[in-house]
Amino acid sequence: MKNYIVTIPAAVAVTALLAGCAGGPSRSEAEYRQLALDTIKRDFQAKGQAKYERLTADELQQACNAHANNPPPELAAKLAGAQLATVKLPADDKYLGDWKSGEKIAQSGRGFTWSDKAENPAGGNCYNCHQIGPNESSFGTVGPSLLGYGKTRGNSPEMQKYTYSKIFNAKAFNLCSEMPRFGHAGALNEKQIKDLVALLLDPASPVNK
């Protein structure tokens, strides 16, 4: 699943490499990080669904960057609590949508690019990081395989709530996870998340065959 807010470790590495090749003066990691941020902000163009807000790292992202994805326990506990508080559960207390619609969302990589119109919904791009369906010949491995997700975990109300919450904000459960905060970032709406929950948990879904 793609990230919807720019993170900069790779940009820092590239900036440092280019500076080294150019024979420039040695700099600290903090200086390279600031240089990378300045470069991104200078060259980024806000257009369509690609907005300047994605360049601003919040407290969580700053902590994960500063501590190599392993913030100190006290800080981690504080940040995890704050992330969990952002999860907005459905008012109707229902979490299962349409798994067929969820499959389309999982397959879609659209959204948050310069060419996407503001009114067009984003996709989840789930196959970019996860194995989900049994017939997929190509999928990413950044995240764990989700094949058999509901078959092995069950379809209890508690599991439905957990799965919805994890998609809404994965960082409430794994602080420096690579998984985007889909609901928190406004990338996916309530219905879309419900449909993805159904894809993972509905016994009729190919995920659980």
Q: What is the pLDDT of residue 4?
A: 45
Q: How far apart are CA 5 and CA 22, in angstroms?
A: 30
Query: In the predicted model, is pLDDT for residue 158 greater than 60?
Result: yes
For 51, 55, 79, 137, the CA distances from 124, given in Å and listed in that order, are 18, 20, 25, 18
Q: What is the pLDDT of residue 137?
A: 81
Query: In the predicted model, is pLDDT for residue 26 greater than 80?
Result: no
Query: Could you say which of 1.10.760.10, 3.10.310.70, 3.30.1490.20, 1.10.3720.10 is the CATH number of the domain covering 99-208?
Result: 1.10.760.10
pLDDT higher for 85 or 26? Answer: 85
Q: How far apart are CA 122 and CA 111, in angstroms?
A: 4
Per-residue pLDDT tens digits for 111-123: 877 787 777 888 9
pLDDT higher for 32 or 4? Answer: 32
Per-residue pLDDT tens digits for 179-191: 999 999 999 999 9
Q: What is the pLDDT of residue 6?
A: 43
DSSP state of 47: B
Least confident segment among 27-41, 88-102, 158-172: 27-41
The ranges assigned to domains in the chain are 9-84, 99-208
Q: What is the pLDDT of residue 2?
A: 41
Residue 97 has φ and ψ, to the nearest 5°, of -105, -135
Q: Write down the mean pLDDT value for the chain.
A: 86
pLDDT higher for 66 or 102? Answer: 102
Least confident segment among 121-125, 157-161, 165-169: 121-125
Q: How far apart are CA 92 and CA 73, in angstroms?
A: 35
Q: What is the pLDDT of residue 121?
A: 85
Query: In the predicted model, is pLDDT for residue 57 greater than 70?
Result: yes
Helix residue spans in the chain (DSSP H): 9-21, 29-43, 59-66, 73-84, 99-107, 149-153, 157-168, 190-201
